[in-house]
Structure 1
Amino acid sequence: MLRRSSMLFAAVVSVVAAGGLAIAAQNPRADQKSAEQKSSTAADVRVVLPGKPGDQARVTDQEHVTAPKAPAYNTIDATFVQMMIVHHGQAIDMAALAADRAGDDELRALAARIGAAQAPEVAWMRAWLRDRKLPASDPRHDHGSMPGMQSPADLTALAGLRGAAFDRKFAAMMIAHHRGALQMAGDVVRGGADERLREVAGEMSVEQGSEIRRIQQIALAG
């Protein structure tokens, strides 16, 4: 009886061992498959997509992420930038005349701020054109007909004045010039396609509207 029990135990051990060998024989393939899955997972690049304000970020695979397209723009955008560079250029030239011709200290200081504000805007607009491989100017544009542009004769006359006479003419010319810029900015805000450019045009409008009011206050005070 004892011998039979021993034989039965040995048989069970043998079966278990055989089963273990069978499982072990399958494990290499399972391990290989697992390694391949790990390798595939490691190859995947996880990308964090920021959410809107108040929303949580979202994590996804790289293959599910589409690269953002370049900002769209249209003819109104391009024309505005090309022409506003010239328009700003004239305002900067006018502002520079006030340095040694203006009779009113506040007007001289305001003119200096106008020049200091518009020069970086010109640089930004030139970069906008370069980034889109657009020319800095278009020969089809008639710069003299831009709203608010002052004639060469008026600029010559302004340069020949000093003191209170300069202040009066400068105030009238710069107010007209700024109002023209507001009109041009309004065109791109309403019809442009580049969102950032519309924002810049809106900021220009706010700034130049404020400068118009300040020039008027100085002129009336004088």
Structure 2
Amino acid sequence: MLLRRTSRAPRTSRARRALPGAASLTIAVLVLGGCDSGSGSAPKSGGTSGPSVIVPGKPGEAAETLSAADAAKQRNEDDSPNTADFAYARMMIEHHTQALEMTALAPKQAASGQVKRLAARIAAAQGPEITTMKGWLTAHDGAKRATEHRHEAMPGMATEAQLKELRTARGRAFDALFLKLMITHHDGAISMATEVKAQGNNIQVEEMADDVIAQQTSEINRMRELQ
């Protein structure tokens, strides 16, 4: 899957996303000359009706004061990766890696040709996605932002006991267990993708999440038909 860096109109949800430096940075609002009802002073330049906004800078940079309109524009245009974006990429690489481990068993152990073809399709999609996400992390210095996580924190991951059972299953027993585990696995990936769309800030990560949701929803429907 290739990243699609395309321009597009700002979405309403961008307005609530974080400014550079933190995933949930609170903006300090400073009203300049606001409540003097009898001053008769001339309107401030810029044509804005809201208060000025103090925007904290990135680490090592000073804060700046922007008009309400400029602050809103910056929120809309900035797509600097935040904590949710980095966590999604790292965890989805591991999530996809387990899916590849499961699909690699199908050629020799599945009875159904449909299950074998489905497994091949999943592998063909998720292998390149792993490469893309690793490249994204490298490009955004993600290695320095690593955090600890466990399988239990990632929805849909098969347990080691389930993987052991899948490795020893053959024929129809393999098909049934593979479909059961992979549906759960895909459901978990969709949950993760949906979450990062709400909490992340980077447009490339959002596009990757959109692809996961579309692809894996389609595959879930197919797997349910095969059960």
Distance 1:87 1:199 in 2: 18
Distance 1:80 1:205 in 2: 14
Give the drift of 1:74: 0.5
Inter-CA distance 71–52: structure 2 relative to 1 (3 Å threshold): closer
CA displacement 1:83-114 (0-9 Å, x = unmatched): 00000000011011111101100111000110
Give yes or no for the alignment of 1:130 onto 2:130: no
AA paired with 1:175? I
Structure 2 length-normalised TM: 0.64
Give yes or no for the alignment of 1:73 onto 2:81: yes
Partner of 2:130: helix, strand, or coil?
helix
Give the drift of 1:152: 0.8
The match for 2:123 among 115, 118, 130 is 115
The match for 2:105 among 85, 88, 97 is 97
Identity %: 39
The match for 1:106 among 114, 132, 143 is 114
Inter-CA distance 70–165: structure 2 relative to 1 (3 Å threshold): same
AA paired with 1:100? K
Give the drift of 1:200: 1.3
CA displacement 1:11-48 (0-9 Å, x = unmatched): xxxxxxxxxxxxxxxxxxxxxxxxxxxxxxxxxxxxxx
Contact 1:83 1:137 in 2 (8 A): no
The match for 2:217 among 187, 192, 209 is 209
Distance 1:216 1:104 in 2: 14
Inter-CA distance 52–94: structure 2 relative to 1 (3 Å threshold): closer
AA paired with 2:133? M
Distance 2:159 2:103 in 1: 15
Structure 1 length-normalised TM: 0.65
Inter-CA distance 70–132: structure 2 relative to 1 (3 Å threshold): farther
Give the drift of 1:144: 3.4
Give the drift of 1:197: 1.1
| Greater relative CO, 1 or 2 (CA 8 Å, sep 6+) | 2
The match for 1:140 among 134, 148, 151 is 148
Aligned to 1:63: none
Aligned to 1:172: 180
AA paired with 1:145? A
Distance 2:174 2:181 in 1: 10
RMSD (Å) for aligned C-alpha atoms: 2.1
Aligned to 2:204: 196
Aligned to 1:152: 160
Distance 2:8 2:214 in 1: 27
Inter-CA distance 52–185: structure 2 relative to 1 (3 Å threshold): closer
Aligned length: 154
AA paired with 1:141? H
Greater helix percent: which structure?
1
Give the drift of 1:143: 2.5
Contact 2:86 2:145 in 1 (8 A): no
AA paired with 2:179? A
Unaligned ranges ≥5, structure 1: 1-50, 54-68
Aligned to 1:14: none
Give the drift of 1:195: 1.1
Distance 1:107 1:136 in 2: 40
Give the drift of 1:154: 0.5
AA paired with 1:83? M
Unaligned ranges ≥5, structure 2: 1-6, 10-76
